[in-house]
Structure 1
Amino acid sequence: MWEASIYGFVLAFGLILPLGVQNVFIFNQGAAHPKLRHALPAVITAALCDTLLILLAVAGVSLVVLTINWLKTLLFIIGALFMLYMGWSIWRSRPELPVVGEAHLTAGKQIVFAVSVSLLNPHAIMDTIGVIGTSSLRFEGLEKGLFTAAAIGVSWTWFFGLCWAGRLIGGLDSSGNVLRHINKLSAIIVWAMAGYIIIQLL
């Protein structure tokens, strides 16, 4: 029985660890805001979106959606365009104290951005469906429930921890120089992922 929980934990951790668009956004919000609680809208929204994707993947619903070719292509196009815009927003932000710019978002904008980078990110969806969804097929009943709960638990813990790490670095960086370099790197990563999606479309 515990095998399902451990398997779900390790699998979800391996998927969420790479520095993707969602992680970059959560880290930046933690670093940009003077108080950790101000970045909670982004953290909670991202965690809820991951929870939804995992539940849909385990249920098999999202797998059916991605078999519709035109819908899959539309998702890729929207995701790539949004990543290009988000990369530009991060690049031009100036994380000085007090923090200003696009990296320092209001609660409403945090929610919109978090939903977008979570649900309009084709690679996150494909990973969730292709790995977590298919891996869940080996379990039934209670074991499948434990596997799903472990995967969801990793997402929530990771996003809160990532936001906290961002806040620590933001608090130590009184000049804003470190955050400016992090933002530049983050923007390049986001643009690279958008370029990869565009290449796949072509």
Structure 2
Amino acid sequence: MQTAFIQGIGIGGSLIMAVGAQNAFVLKQGIKRSYPLPIAILCSIIDALMITAGVMGLGHLITGMPMIKHLASFGGAIFLIWYGANALRDSFRTKGLDLQQEQGADTLRKAVLTTLGISLLNPHLYLDTVVLLGSISTQFDDTVRPWFGAGAILASFLWFFSLSFGARLLGPLFEKPVAWRILDRFICLTMWSIAVALMWPYMKMLG
């Protein structure tokens, strides 16, 4: 039981902490102090639901229905390209971070919808949490497997809350326009790289 729980924390944490669309978005919103608590809660709950589904065996169902993966890949790529383009556009703005202004720049509805889009339209979420963690969990018997899932869920909560609220420490740095430009362009490259990775198998088929 203890071994499964610790492995869940370690493996789940290593997957969640990888640089990706969701983490880049949470980092940016945390720096802006734009609804960090709702975003951290929502990301953590989504991960918890996906991890639970994977541990319960949903990953085998997804791998057996390739149409779901195809639809998620195209929808996710379109969303990531759009979000990356917005980040690139923002990078050409010369002003630095004004915390008082940025805190009211986004609405809660916009923050929630964007969080849902960044999370649920990214197939990597399903591959990492549902399929990969679900597959790894099969090495444990039925009585211990939930503890593996619980460890991965705990890692998710710890990571998103740390990232969302820890990012505000970078606020003074992002009062400088150049730091904000670098972050936005990094986010753009991250989003577009993931979009290309999603579309690459289909590009190879056309080639």
Partner residue of 1:53?
A: 50
Gaps of 5+ in 1: none
Tell me how far apart the structure 2 counterparts of residues 120 and 19 of structure 1 sit (CA, whole Å): 16
**Amino acid aligned to 1:49:** I
Is this contact kept in 2: 1:97–1:176, CA < 8 A? no
Contact 2:137 2:148 in 1 (8 A): yes
**Structure 2: tracts of 5 or more residues without a match:** none
- Asked whether 1:68 is paired with 2:69, we answer no
Equivalence for 1:3: 3
**TM-aligned CA deviation for residue 83 of structure 1:** 0.4
Please report the RMSD computed on the Cα atoms of aligned residues, expressed in angstroms. Answer: 2.0
Specify the code of the residue in structure 2 equivalent to 1:185. F
Give the corresponding residue for 1:168: 169
Q: Percent identity?
A: 29
Structure 1 residues 27-176: aligned runs within 5 Å: 27-33=27-33, 38-93=35-90, 94=93, 96-98=97-99, 105-176=106-177
Which segments of structure 1 move beyond 3 Å, counting only runs of 4 or more?
98-101
Please tell me the residue identity of whatever aligns with 1:79.
Answer: G
Distance 2:69 2:7 in 1: 29
Q: Give the Å deviation of 1:118.
A: 1.5
CA contact (8 A) 1:96 1:175 kept: yes
- Residue 192 of structure 1 corresponds to which residue in structure 2? 193
Cα offset for 1:66?
3.9
CA deviations over 1:19-42 (Å, ceiling 9, x no partner): 1001001001001226xxx22222
How many residues align? The count is 197
Q: Structure 2-normalised TM-score?
A: 0.87
Partner of 2:18: 18
Question: Secondary structure of the equivalent of 2:50?
Answer: helix
Question: What is the CA-CA distance between 1:99 and the residue it aligns to?
Answer: 7.0
Q: By how many angstroms is 1:142 displaced?
A: 3.9
Matches of 1:84 and 1:99, distance apart in 2:
29
Once the 2 structures are TM-superposed, how far is the Cα of residue 98 of structure 1 from its aligned partner? 4.7
- Could you say if the C-alpha distance between residues 170 and 137 of structure 1 is closer, same or farther in structure 2, counting changes exceeding 3 Å? same
- Letter of the structure 2 residue corresponding to residue 169 of structure 1: L
Q: Distance in 2 between matches of 1:22 and 1:124?
A: 9
